[in-house]
Structure 1
Amino acid sequence: MKRITYILFLIFMSQVVLAQKNASNKADKLFAEKAYVEAAKLYENLKPSQEILQNLGDCYYFNNQMHFAEKPYANLISTYKDSVKPEYFFKYAHVLHGIYKIERADEVMTIYRGFDVNTRKFKEHLNTIVPYNYTVKKISTNATGDFGISIFGDKIVFASLRSASGPAYKWNEKPYLDLFEGKLSNEGLLEKVKPFSKTVNTNTHESSAVFTKDKKTMYFNRTSDERVVVGDELYASVKIYKAQFENNQWTNITVMPFSSDQFSTQHPCLSPDEDKLYFSSDRPDSYGSFDIYSVAINKDGTYGEPVNLGNNINSKHREQFPFVDTDNSLYFASDGLQGMGGLDIFMSNSYDGVYAKPINLGETLNTGTDDFSFVIKEGDSIGYFSSNRDGGDNLYSFARQENGRKFTVEGFVKDIHTKELLPGTIVTLYDDEEKLIGQLVVGADANYVFNTEPNKKYKIFAERDLYVTKTIDFETKDDGVVHYNIELEIESYLDAEKRLVKKDDGLVYLELENIYFDYDKWDIKPEGAVILQELVDLMKRHPRMEVELGAHTDSRASDIYNLRLSFRRSSNVLEYLVSNGIDRKRLKAKGFGKRKPLIDCGANCTEPEHAVNRRCEFLIVK
């Protein structure tokens, strides 16, 4: 009897294992087909392995079901931490942001980034630098599947899941996306919604419409109705299409030549002059996922080659939903740049055709979930965006008000070699038109600070006696940086010039060969002119340098006679320097007569000793 029971148990267990394997295979197949809702149901009943936890978390993550994604990702990280792919730390951190577990999200993102992430401090910082604060209002109150507004005259056009009669999409078991149009009521709510043109909407996804100013051309997204093999999976790419308005209908619908079956090209947006189309794509040359690109629209109706906007804008994660305003400022959504969680909306200003480092638009607009598809009405401070902050995708309006920011530049003045602070240094700020903006003498803390303005060029000078003047050019850009920190590290003349020495009297001298004067003469001999050229070169290298020219005589003749003779000699050196381009104001001639001999030999000096005492010294006074 025991033997029969054991055999029955083995049969039962083998059936359980077989059923588990069959269910796992079926779930994996559904997951590969991106039927995430059905796949999740099966994975929930399977014994959790590393792959099952990954796939189950992904099923919920890709459908923005963050509360459900938390548990499998948490189990995955805690159980298989050492072998988990880095991308799952990234996803888990965004899931935690989405359910407002901010401190834990920061801990996980710190592991992923490799540096400390602190969302609270990041928000506080943004509050001081964002150009605008936003007042937000939901306008699609009865829907959970609207996104991507485009302004079309007095109407708005957007993508929606409202086509309840259409087939269900396996990804989320919801209807396929179509384009809809509607108007805004006096209260700012969406009304009079109806499907957009039947010639545009099909049985696959349509979204992200944008229109030319004359309303005769539109670009929009459409998903391929057939899937092709890309890598190891079947893939239905998203493409950009163009349509023209003729005879009161949208017609001549054609796919853009830079779209492909092998990758997606989506979220079209026109430049203000309509000679460029911006879009998001996971093309092979992207930085890892979706990047923002631009492509030229030629006058003959052809298109240039797509250009990646570069790593100032793009990361290895998602950059999507571009929009360019009338000032050529770029707005886009990213989950790869530091943010609040999910997709956040960023802004980047264009300088000489290059987009600067973007700024997150802050917590008055962005949340821990996806915020994206920003557009603003031309010449206005009112606009629209999309967000799933309330569960599903919805449309929101905003009014923006300028944030009272103060642009500053500040720093410390230090010795470039010793790093010692240098109180008493004069720091001066000029704009690019040489207008004096401010000047101060730094105090004991050697700190300076000046107010500046955005989008201006400046020069800052650090001037100090016996130091080389330091000049730094910088430009303030309205890209989120309102506080510039510029350390002014300056070099002493002694460190910069080998010929300069500090003598026992504590003063700094230029050490040159002696300029010999003939007995009772003050004219500069040819060999003396060669030596003085070194001083000319030195003073031209350092335009603030001032020099005292000290001439000395031998001990013969009276004090008064020698004082006059030495002054004539120093004055003659001064005139020589002036004749070689040195400003007279930078020079001071002094005669010391016979009072400071180098060789104190009195009345018993030899002729060579007298010659040494007949000299000119060069004291650096500034």
Structure 2
Amino acid sequence: MNKNYILIYLLCVCSLSFGQKKSLKRANKLFDNKAYVEAAEIYKQLDDSQESLKKLGDSYYYNFDMKKASDAYKKLLASYKDSLNPEVYFRYAHALKGIEDYDTGDQIMSEYSKLLEDTPQFIEDLTSLVPYNYTIKQVESGSNIGDFGISYYQDNVVFASLRNTKNPKYAWNENPYLDLYKASVSEDKNLENVEPFSEDINSKTHESNATFSRDGKTMYFSRTSKKRIKIEKEKIAVVKIYRAELIDSIWTNITVMPFSSDLYSTQHPVLNKENTKLYFSSDMPGSLGSFDIYYVEIFNESFGNPINLGNTINTKHREQFPFITQDSTLYFASNGHKGLGGLDLYSSKYKDNAFEEALNLGNTINSSMDDFGFVLKDSLHEGFLSSNRSGKDRLYSFTREPNRKTYFVEGEVRDKNSKEILPGSLVTLLDENGTIVDQIIVGDDAKYKFETEPNKKYQIEGYRSFYIPATEDINTNDEGKIEFDLELEIESYDDAEEIVVTKTDGYIYIELENIYFDLDKWDIKPEASKTLDVLVNLLKKYPRMEVQLGAHTDSRSSYDYNLVLSNNRAKATLDYLVANGVEKIRLKSKGFGETQPLVNCGDNCTEVEHSINRRCEFIILK
């Protein structure tokens, strides 16, 4: 009996193992064919192997089910963290951000990027950076299946939709293939009179993202190829850009663009105002990431070569859905730049023949999910975007108002030579007329921060006792840059001037040739005046320098006599400096008599030793 039980157990184990392998093979085939919904149903029933957990997470991720995706990735990292592709961390972080678990999401993204991530702080920072605040509203279009990729066309709009239930279902998400539709826009920004755009354009595969010439007679749009082609180890149905012409109310002459290919995708076309350039996204060879934004020049009957917009716009991840305004500002979607989660919307101004650094549009328009397909109506502050924040692709209308920006200048104060921070330094903000706007004595971190106004000129001054003040000019123009990170470097008198020396007693001296006086006299002799003129020039060079003038005698007269004599000599020196243009408030004179000899020789001093003790010293007080 025991042998029979063992045999039955072994048969069950073998059967279960065989079934697991068969199910995994079936799931992998569905996954490779991008049938993610069906694949996920199998993966979730399998043992938690590295392969099944990764592909389960990916299947959910690609269909925007971020809660289930993050649960699968969490299990994956718990068991297989040391052997995972870094891209798993990237998708896991975005899945966590998608459910607004920013604490864990930032931790995972920090491990991926090797940079500190703090999404809540990033969102807060954007409130003062973004040029506009947006008010958005979900568009009612007569369908809840899915709409996206809207564009303006004459007095109407054209958009992509899954609403044609007669179309075959797409295995990726088990929804119908996309077609293009046109509609009018009501006063409250809902879509009315929705109907298929053109039976000549819509086919049995996907069509989306149309853009139209100014005269409305030429259009470009995305269309997915019918056949899948094996590229490396993956079968892909690439997307191509097509062009069509309107002749006698019929869209005809539908041709694929010469820069499209069977080996990579080109998609999301948009024309510039002059219709001289066509912007699009592509994963063609040479791209920086999975998708980059390009443009081609449009000539009469031909097109230029695709030009990549470079790494100020493109990253190693996805940049898609470009839109270019009348003033050549580029809007696009990306999950590679720092964001709130998923695809975020960004803008970049075109200046000096290049696009500037991309700016996230902020949380009044971006969500923790995918936000994309931004379009603006002419130069007005209204338009549309697409987002899957509700769990499926939907259209949203927006209006926007200029954001009252708060401009800041901030930085820290350091020693110019040692580069050490200088706590206790005084930093002053002055306007263009030199009037003090604000001041701060920096703390232990030597950091300062001032609030400023747009389109104004300012000067920042850093100062510290025994240092030369340093100034920097700034201009708070209204061109996107509203935070200035300005490191003030100030140089000590000791480093700047050879005749300034810090001695072992801790005092900072100005070392000049000794000043000699006649016996029992305190008049400034011509030889002494030449020495003091060096001091005059130094004090005029540094208007904040304050100096103590100290006079010393030898010990050959009485204590009281020498004290009076030294005071008279120190005062005479001060009077000379004042007479030559140095403010008296910056000077202090003091006679020390015989109390501080350099050579302590008592009553047995030689003439040389007496002359050494009979001196003037100049100590910097500030």
Q: TM-score range by the shorter chain?
A: 0.7 to 0.9
Corresponding residue of 1:460: 460
Distance, in Å, in 1 between the alignment partners of 2:548 and 2:109 is 66
* Shift in Å, 1:515: 11
Alignment of 1:351-430 (within 5 A): 351-411=351-411, 413=413, 415=415, 417=418, 419-422=421-424, 425=426, 427-429=428-430
Q: TM-score, normalised by structure 2?
A: 0.78
Corresponding residue of 1:580: none
Distance, in Å, in 2 between the alignment partners of 1:474 and 1:227 is 56
Equivalent position SS for 2:30? helix
Distance, in Å, in 2 between the alignment partners of 1:318 and 1:59 is 18
Equivalent position SS for 2:389? strand
Corresponding letter in the other structure for 1:346:
Y
* Shift in Å, 1:190: 0.8
With over 3 angstroms needed to count, the CA separation of the structure-2 counterparts of 1:339 and 1:505, relative to structure 1, is closer
Deviates more, 1:156-165 or 1:126-135: 126-135
Equivalent position SS for 1:51? helix
Distance, in Å, in 1 between the alignment partners of 2:140 and 2:433 is 52
* Shift in Å, 1:306: 1.2
1:68-121, CA deviations, whole angstroms, 9 ceiling, x for partnerless residues? 434433322223233232322322232233344444434443443445544333
CA contact (8 A) 2:145 2:163 kept: no
Residue 284 in structure 1 maps to residue 299 in structure 2: no
Corresponding residue of 1:293: 294
Deviates more, 1:358-367 or 1:383-392: 358-367
Alignment of 1:200-599 (within 5 A): 200-297=201-298, 301-310=302-311, 312-411=312-411, 413=413, 415=415, 417=418, 419-422=421-424, 425=426, 427-429=428-430, 436=434, 438-440=436-438, 442-443=440-441, 450-454=450-454, 459-462=459-462, 466-474=466-474, 476=476, 482-501=482-501, 510-511=510-511
Distance, in Å, in 2 between the alignment partners of 1:537 and 1:157 is 76
With over 3 angstroms needed to count, the CA separation of the structure-2 counterparts of 1:173 and 1:492, relative to structure 1, is same
Corresponding letter in the other structure for 2:421:
K
* Shift in Å, 1:397: 0.3
Q: TM-score, normalised by structure 1?
A: 0.78
Distance, in Å, in 2 between the alignment partners of 1:448 and 1:391 is 44
* Shift in Å, 1:412: 5.4
With over 3 angstroms needed to count, the CA separation of the structure-2 counterparts of 1:284 and 1:496, relative to structure 1, is farther
Number of positions where the alignment pairs a residue of Structure 1 with one of Structure 2: 603
Distance, in Å, in 2 between the alignment partners of 1:256 and 1:64 is 31
* Shift in Å, 1:500: 1.7
Corresponding residue of 2:88: 88
* Shift in Å, 1:464: 5.8
Corresponding letter in the other structure for 1:191:
E
Alignment of 1:2-41 (within 5 A): 10-11=10-11, 13-41=13-41
Distance, in Å, in 1 between the alignment partners of 2:481 and 2:202 is 44
Distance, in Å, in 1 between the alignment partners of 2:362 and 2:134 is 9
Deviates more, 1:230-239 or 1:59-68: 59-68
Corresponding letter in the other structure for 1:292:
I
Equivalent position SS for 1:397? strand
Alignment of 1:34-73 (within 5 A): 34-73=34-73
With over 3 angstroms needed to count, the CA separation of the structure-2 counterparts of 1:511 and 1:59, relative to structure 1, is same
With over 3 angstroms needed to count, the CA separation of the structure-2 counterparts of 1:50 and 1:385, relative to structure 1, is same
1:432-467, CA deviations, whole angstroms, 9 ceiling, x for partnerless residues? xx5547455545858765443446665433356753
Distance, in Å, in 2 between the alignment partners of 1:263 and 1:90 is 23
Corresponding residue of 1:189: 190
* Shift in Å, 1:534: 9.4
* Shift in Å, 1:284: 3.3
Corresponding letter in the other structure for 1:419:
I
Distance, in Å, in 2 between the alignment partners of 1:367 and 1:277 is 28
Corresponding letter in the other structure for 2:272:
S
With over 3 angstroms needed to count, the CA separation of the structure-2 counterparts of 1:479 and 1:261, relative to structure 1, is farther
* Shift in Å, 1:223: 1.8
CA contact (8 A) 2:270 2:279 kept: yes
Q: List gaps (5 residues or longer) in structure 1.
A: 556-562, 576-583
Corresponding letter in the other structure for 2:148:
F
Distance, in Å, in 2 between the alignment partners of 1:6 and 1:504 is 91
Distance, in Å, in 1 between the alignment partners of 2:449 and 2:23 is 68
Distance, in Å, in 2 between the alignment partners of 1:68 and 1:619 is 73
Corresponding letter in the other structure for 1:317:
H
CA contact (8 A) 2:30 2:36 kept: yes
* Shift in Å, 1:372: 1.2
Corresponding letter in the other structure for 1:314:
N
* Shift in Å, 1:544: 5.5
Corresponding residue of 1:153: 154
Equivalent position SS for 1:390? coil
* Shift in Å, 1:415: 4.9
Distance, in Å, in 1 between the alignment partners of 2:313 and 2:56 is 32
Corresponding residue of 2:563: none
* Shift in Å, 1:317: 2.1
Corresponding residue of 2:562: none
Deviates more, 1:32-41 or 1:406-415: 406-415
Corresponding letter in the other structure for 1:421:
P
RMSD: 4.9
1:326-359, CA deviations, whole angstroms, 9 ceiling, x for partnerless residues? 3433322222333332222223334434434433
With over 3 angstroms needed to count, the CA separation of the structure-2 counterparts of 1:100 and 1:606, relative to structure 1, is closer
Distance, in Å, in 2 between the alignment partners of 1:420 and 1:139 is 56
* Shift in Å, 1:499: 2.9
With over 3 angstroms needed to count, the CA separation of the structure-2 counterparts of 1:260 and 1:496, relative to structure 1, is farther
Corresponding residue of 1:121: 121
Distance, in Å, in 2 between the alignment partners of 1:193 and 1:544 is 76
Deviates more, 1:403-412 or 1:134-143: 403-412
Equivalent position SS for 2:468? coil
With over 3 angstroms needed to count, the CA separation of the structure-2 counterparts of 1:242 and 1:455, relative to structure 1, is farther
Corresponding residue of 1:144: 145
Corresponding residue of 1:98: 98
Equivalent position SS for 2:264? coil
Distance, in Å, in 1 between the alignment partners of 2:99 and 2:133 is 24
With over 3 angstroms needed to count, the CA separation of the structure-2 counterparts of 1:475 and 1:279, relative to structure 1, is farther
Corresponding letter in the other structure for 2:140:
S
Distance, in Å, in 1 between the alignment partners of 2:275 and 2:538 is 57
Equivalent position SS for 1:252? strand
CA contact (8 A) 2:548 2:621 kept: no
Alignment of 1:69-80 (within 5 A): 69-80=69-80
Corresponding letter in the other structure for 1:427:
T
Q: List gaps (5 residues or longer) in structure 2.
A: 518-522, 555-567, 600-604
* Shift in Å, 1:39: 2.2
With over 3 angstroms needed to count, the CA separation of the structure-2 counterparts of 1:51 and 1:455, relative to structure 1, is farther
With over 3 angstroms needed to count, the CA separation of the structure-2 counterparts of 1:443 and 1:233, relative to structure 1, is closer
Distance, in Å, in 1 between the alignment partners of 2:505 and 2:78 is 71
* Shift in Å, 1:613: 12
Corresponding residue of 2:561: none
